[in-house]
Amino acid sequence: MALLFLVWAVPEFRSSTLAKQYYENWYAAAKAGQNDEQGDAHFWVRELYGWVYAEDTLAQWLMVVLGGAASAISLYALIWLRRTWDQAKRSADAACAAVAETRRIGEAQVRAYLAVRNVSFRVIEQTAGNDPVAAVSFSYHNTGLSPATRVTGRFILEVFAAANSKTQITDATGFKFSSPKSQFQHLYPDVASAESESRKMAFEKLDAKALCAFTSARFMTIAVWIELGFKDVFGEPATIVSSFRLVADTPIVVGKKYKLKPAASLTNRFRAS
């Protein structure tokens, strides 16, 4: 609206004849009192005005200037729009990340978590004519807020001869009894939140009679690794590995119960195998 008013109010914008007459009158008056030297203060003004008029009318030149200004403003608007879009995208990404983190924390609070407890070792006497069997008893407790389903387990039992009661399992020398690494073929009952289940794993392929004879009059180290797999309420599989150990200075006696203590420092035999 302001541009239309300017074109209407200034005669030179509306008529090239008036513009020419205005220029000729102004130029004649200026030339009468000034010379054509470049040092004259009005020389470049006259030359510029004449060049503008010679090319086109003032209205058209004004449109060129305004068009350039409009292009610059449009370019700035595009840059500002791009920055606004980038900021909006960063805000949206941050919101999505916050939602994902909130969901992860919420799920972690209600998942099932199993802990292995009360691990003991015993060589069980069998009926007449059968050799004794080495077995590990344990319980698993659900410390989470939802049930643990499809609980499975596998086990490794190793008995080392030790030089003394302070010998670490990694320093043990001599013969070693080791059970086969059983796969996830032992299926155990589901366990609800804050409940426990007790189970026993018999190592039937381990020669328990030879084991008792081997540990006679020796220090020994009994090590057990228990790996439990299960599914939580979200249907995602989870696995825990627990290790336990006992260093004793007496031979293994049939029927005697040996309670093992947690030994988190032991190397994970399942991962190393």
Of residues 121, 113, 120, the one with CA closest to residue 140: 113
The verdict on residue 30 lying in a domain is: yes
Runs of H (alpha helix) within the chain: 2-9, 11-14, 16-33, 43-55, 58-110, 208-214, 269-272
What is d(CA 181, CA 126) in angstroms, rounded to the nearest whole number?
24
Residues 46-103 have pLDDT tens digits of: 555 555 554 455 566 667 777 788 888 888 888 998 898 999 999 999 999 999 999 8
Name the pLDDT band for 171 (thresholds 50, 70, 90).
very low
Assess whether 135 and 259 both reside in one domain: yes
Residues 134 and 37 in one domain: no
Per-residue pLDDT reduced to its tens digit, 110-149: 999 999 999 999 988 877 767 888 889 999 999 999 999 9
Calculate the average pLDDT of the chain.
Answer: 75
How much is the pLDDT for 17? 57
| Residue 174, pLDDT above cutoff 50 | no
Q: Which of 49, 7, 41 is nearest to 25 (CA)?
A: 49
Domain membership of residue 96 (yes or no) is no
Residue 272 pLDDT: 57
Confidence grade of residue 172 (pLDDT, cut at 50, 70, 90): very low
Q: How many Cβ atoms sit within 10 Å of the Cβ of residue 141?
A: 18
Is this structure's pTM higher than 0.75? Answer: no
Q: Which residue has tokens 């006679």?
A: 216
Which amino acid is located at 207 in the chain? Answer: D
pLDDT per residue as tens digits for the range 89-116? 999 999 999 999 998 898 888 999 999 9
Domain count, the chain: 2
Same domain, 128 and 12: no
Residue 70 lies in a domain: no
* Residue 201 confidence (pLDDT): 84
- For residue 36, CA distances in Å to 30, 40, 125, 272 come to 10, 7, 130, 99
Here the CATH number for the domain that contains residue 264 is 2.60.40
CA distance 148 to 189: 9
Q: Higher pLDDT residue, 20 or 157? A: 157
Kindly state whether residues 46 and 126 are assigned to the same domain: no
- Does the residue 62 lie in any domain? no
- Say if residue 178's pLDDT is above 60: no
Is 76 part of a structural domain of the chain?
A: no
Taking the C-alpha atoms of residue 212 and residue 125, their distance in angstroms, rounded to an integer, is: 12
Burial class of 86 by CB neighbour count within 10 A (0 to 12, 13 to 18, 19+): exposed
- Give the per-residue pLDDT at 170: 45
Q: Which domain holds residue 8?
A: 2-55
Q: What is the pLDDT of residue 96?
A: 93
Whether 169 shows a pLDDT value over 70: the answer reads no
Of all residues in the chain, the percent with pLDDT exceeding 90 is 22
Residue 257 sits in the same domain as residue 173 = yes
Residue 83 counted as domain residue: no
H or E stretch including 196?
Answer: strand 196-203
- Based on the fold, state whether residues 51 and 122 are members of the same structural domain: no
Instruction: Tell me whether residue 130 is in a domain.
Output: yes
Nearest partner of 55 among 94, 20, 11, judged by Cα = 20
Rounded Cα gap, residues 57 and 20, in angstroms: 9
**232 and 126 part of one domain:** yes
Residue 225 included in any domain: yes
Considering the domain architecture, whether residues 22 and 133 belong to the same structural domain is answered as no
Residues 234 and 152 in one domain: yes
Residue 158 to residue 226: CA distance in whole angstroms: 12
26 pLDDT band (50/70/90 cuts)?
Answer: low
Do 46 and 178 lie in one domain? The reply is no
The dihedral over CA atoms of 191, 196, 198, 199, expressed in degrees to the nearest 10, equals 30
184-240 pLDDT, tens per residue? 567 889 999 999 999 888 877 777 777 777 666 566 778 888 889 999 988 889 999
